[in-house]
Structure 1
Amino acid sequence: MSACLAQFDSLLSRRRAVGNATTTPRPSHTLRDPWGEPVAEFSRFPSDLELLKAAHRVRSDDWIGPLADDAQSRHLHAAWRLALLRGDRHGQARVSQHPGPQWLSAPRVVRAGERPADLRRALYAAAVRQLWQAGWKLVG
């Protein structure tokens, strides 16, 4: 009887060891600003939009998306940029040195017929490239 109990105990301890080995947290990815300070952690590899939201500290009442930049348009072709518009805080109008949108990407001239989803993805990618050029890093 004691041999059966010993075998049962060894099976339980092996199962517990295997269970603990599989529950170890996966390595996370940490977004660091140009000064090396951690800004956000991700349990999986983040999308471009997730990186931008973390880097620019986008809140729920902020808006981020493609916006036509009339100053950069050429003839009949519109120039689009990724823009961030901050929402009002606690009923107060946002105070900024530069009123208007915060531009996150370089202008992209688009011809008629380009799919909006492709434009959005290209603008997100361009904005993330600007983050990397400014010294941001994704570690992990």
Structure 2
Amino acid sequence: MSARLAQFDSLLTRRRAARATPAPAQPQRTLRDPWGEPVAEFSRFPSDLELLKAAHRLQPDDWIGALADDAQSQRLNAVWRLALLRADRHGQARVSREPGPQWISPQQTARPGERPATLRRQLHAAAVRQLWLAGWKLA
């Protein structure tokens, strides 16, 4: 009987020790610009939108979203692009010299009735691909 109690006690002790061990620390992922400078750190793998916000240094009052590019429209199919609109900062120069949106993704043709969420995901992925092609790195 005492052998069984000792075995049971050792099992309980092992379980407590397993719970007490801290979880391994998640490695920090650093987004670096084409010149190798760190821009942002992430504790988990970031989404495409999080990468874009960090890379373009979005402020809380800036806006990023899909806009139709009327200059490139093709008959009934609309051409969409991911656009960045920066809020005016009183007393500070705008980041972009040209008025209007800053296009940050390539064109994406969408048919009428297509789901906006799908189009948005495609635009985010295309914009992130452009970041990687420009030399951005996530290490």
Bin for the TM-score computed over the shorter chain: 0.7 to 0.9
Distance (whole Å) between structure 2 residues aligned to residue 120 and residue 23 of structure 1? 35
CA deviations 1:46-86 (Å, max 9, x no partner) are: 00000000000001000000001011110111100000000
Pairwise CA distance, 1:24: 5.1
Q: Pick closer, same or farther for the CA change 1:69–1:44 going to 2, 3 Å.
A: same
Point out where structure 1 has 5 or more consecutive residues left out of the alignment.
Answer: 1-10
Amino acid at match of 1:134: A
Pairwise CA distance, 1:94: 3.5
Q: CA RMSD in A?
A: 2.2
Point out where structure 2 has 5 or more consecutive residues left out of the alignment.
Answer: 1-12
TM-score when normalising by structure 1 = 0.80
| Larger displacement relative to structure 2 (114-123 or 104-113) | 104-113
Within 5 Å, which residues of 2 pair with 1:63-82? 63-82=63-82
| Kept after mapping to 1: 8 A contact 2:65/2:82 | yes
Secondary structure (helix, strand or coil) at the match of 2:138 reads: strand
Is 2:91 the counterpart of 1:100?
A: no
Q: Pick closer, same or farther for the CA change 1:92–1:135 going to 2, 3 Å.
A: closer
Q: Pick closer, same or farther for the CA change 1:137–1:104 going to 2, 3 Å.
A: same
Amino acid at match of 1:71: A
Instruction: Report the identity percentage.
Output: 72
Amino acid at match of 2:34: P
Distance (whole Å) between structure 2 residues aligned to residue 46 and residue 92 of structure 1? 30
| Larger displacement relative to structure 2 (23-32 or 97-106) | 23-32
Secondary structure (helix, strand or coil) at the match of 1:82 reads: strand
Is 2:80 the counterpart of 1:87?
A: no
Secondary structure (helix, strand or coil) at the match of 2:65 reads: strand
Number of corresponding residues: 125
